[in-house]
Amino acid sequence: MKALKTLLATTLLLSVAACGGTGAASTGDGAKKTVTVYTADGLADWYKTRFDAFTQKTGIKVQTVEAGSGEVVSRLQKEKSNPQADVVVTLPPFIQKADKDGLLQKYDVPGADHVKGLKGDDYVTVVDNYLCFIANAQAGTPKTFDDLLDPKFKGKLQYSTPGQAGDGTAVLLLLQHLLGKDGALDYLKKLEANNVGPSASTGKLQPKVSKGELLVANGDVQMNAASIANDKSAFSIFFPAAAGKRTTLALPYVMGLGVGAPNADGGKQLMEYLLSTDAQQTISQDAFGLPARDDVTPTDANFTSVRKVTDGVEVWQPDWTAVLSDLDADVAAYTKAVG
């Protein structure tokens, strides 16, 4: 009888394991206890605290693969026949490219109705952010885009490459907005005399500016403010003006659920958690980002400092669908213009 009970119990256990559970951590499968996030760099400080809290809450571990915004999508494309990513976090227009290429699947994240920024059927903003530039103290304080053409910046200025990095693509888009497409190309052709050369990652420019190897580079407010505070980076954030007006563009971190995600249930749980009011409340405190939800207003010093640095700067919201449709042609024209 004891042997029969043991056999029945074993059979029942195997049946339950085969059916699985609703939570990724409840299946008993080690793979289901891990969520893989492919992400653009910049949010590591926020990820560390939030992922630890998520693991404590759910038992699901999170592993990240960081890369430039465009490289994140390139990796998804290469792995399309054997998907490895559960959650994808990158910048526009690369999130739209991932969606267009069928690399994301629909998931209506709870709380998405409180996101008034960028979102679509297959993606939603998780952290708000803005394009900016950074300058080493030796650069003085550049006021305008024309100031960056000064010969003193020759070999001391670099911006990440449009079409490869989200921040670099944003530079091209902002100049198109301010100067027109032809005017943007004319300006960037002139700027090439000072430009060090291509860079697929904006984040890698930060230490170079801090050390004085570069005097000016592009960046984004969240990443650069965090670097100043946490790494004691020796640079300041600025917004060069055109026609007497300082303008930037919204450059949010946007997340989506990867198509064919190995652990889709766990990915959904993580996305819901990252968009929860509890997690959103910590974005500025942990990483100098701004919450995507309109019902979350932090009161910490970091939130105040980010608001202060962007005070008086006009924010432009691109039509990212239109941007994506023209992107290949715009990048080709840019490549030809700068030689």
Q: How would you write the pLDDT of the chain (339 residues) with one tens digit per residue?
A: 333 333 333 333 333 333 333 333 334 455 579 999 999 988 999 999 999 999 999 999 999 999 888 899 999 999 999 999 999 999 999 999 999 999 999 999 999 999 999 999 999 999 999 999 999 999 998 999 999 999 999 999 999 999 888 899 999 999 999 999 999 999 999 999 999 999 988 889 999 999 999 999 999 999 999 999 999 999 999 999 999 999 999 999 999 999 999 999 999 999 999 999 999 999 999 999 999 999 999 999 999 999 999 999 999 999 999 999 999 999 999 999 999
Q: What is the pLDDT of residues 90-103, one digit of tens each?
A: 999 999 999 999 99
Sequence-ordered list of residues with C-beta below 8 angstroms from that of 34, at least 6 positions apart, any chain: 60, 61, 62, 63, 263, 266
- Rounded distance between C-alpha atoms, residue 221 and residue 171, angstroms: 14
Give the SS3 label for residue 246. strand
Cβ proximity of 271 and 255 under 8 Å: yes
Of the candidates 268, 269, 276, which has an alpha carbon nearest to the alpha carbon of residue 292?
276
**pTM greater than 0.85 (yes/no):** no
* Residue 68 confidence (pLDDT): 82
